[in-house]
Chain A
Amino acid sequence: QQQVKQSPQSLIVQKGGISIINCAYENTAFDYFPWYQQFPGKGPALLIAIRPDVSEKKEGRFTISFNKSAKQFSLHIMDSQPGDSATYFCAAVRGNAGNMLTFGGGTRLMVKP
């Protein structure tokens, strides 16, 4: 049973467009929600993260929107670039569970030039 559900599995966006990836979680004990970016042959790397007491966080072209009541959060990539082509993972953490990351299934993003 997957505790964090992510959609879509794959996404193709034109350069300059907006990429949107959605996640939903079950466990209300989660208290930290990071997004990781993974390029082929590399390990995941933290992109941006949010706590549930904030509804939105923006860092450059990347924005997380968080809806606590719906138990959903999403990643928006503005002005998508070919260099953004990667697999994106949402994750959730329970602070009292040893910082364990529970990952969504991943979204493979391709940005076409």
Chain B
Amino acid sequence: DTAVSQTPKYLVTQMGNDKSIKCEQNLGHDTMYWYKQDSKKFLKIMFSYNNKELIINETVPNRFSPKSPDKAHLNLHINSLELGDSAVYFCASSQDPLSGRVGTQYFGPGTRLLVL
């Protein structure tokens, strides 16, 4: 039933580790996104994928690598985790914005990452 789902919900790990967050949407959307919400609740776009192709990459360190195996999934892999990576990461999806229409973005429940 969940439109946009993420796993895991919580992730606690040590500095220097590599971790992945998975996202799946069952809305039939063409475009998926990753956002980062910091401790002050500020939300910032990280990546946008349309039909498995990267269309936005907003000054994110290359330790972060999104992977889209198909248009319903967008995973986020993070290498060499740092303390500053601690945040809530949200996945979202929308209809194809490249068609000229602005689509409502539907957000997942978030993954709370804590780097110790």
Contacts and interface: CB of A to CB of B under 8 A. Distances in A.
A45 interface: yes
A101 B56 contact: no
A44 interface: yes
25 contacts: A41-B109, A43-B92, A43-B109, A44-B90, A44-B107, A45-B106, A46-B105, A93-B102, A95-B100, A97-B56, A98-B50, A99-B48, A99-B94, A99-B102, A100-B45, A100-B56, A100-B58, A101-B33, A101-B43, A101-B105, A103-B42, A105-B42, A106-B41, A106-B43, A108-B41
A99 B108 CA distance: 17
The 4 closest A-B pairs by CB, nearest first: A99-B97, A43-B107, A103-B43, A32-B102
Candidate in B42, B43, B45, B102 with the most chain A CB atoms within 10 angstroms: B43
Interface string B88-116: 00101010011010111111111000000
Contacts of A98: 31, 48, 50, 55-56, 97-98
Contacts of A32: 102
B104 to A, nearest CB: 5
A99 B56 CA distance: 10
Given A44-B107, A101-B43, A103-B44, 17 more contacts: A42-B109, A42-B110, A43-B90, A43-B108, A43-B109, A44-B90, A46-B104, A46-B105, A46-B106, A89-B43, A98-B31, A100-B33, A101-B33, A101-B35, A101-B105, A102-B45, A106-B43
Interface of B: 4, 31, 33, 35, 40-45, 48, 50, 55-56, 58, 90, 92, 94, 97-98, 100, 102-110
Interface of A: 31-32, 34, 36, 41-46, 49, 87, 89, 93, 95, 97-103, 105-106, 108
A41 B45 CA distance: 19
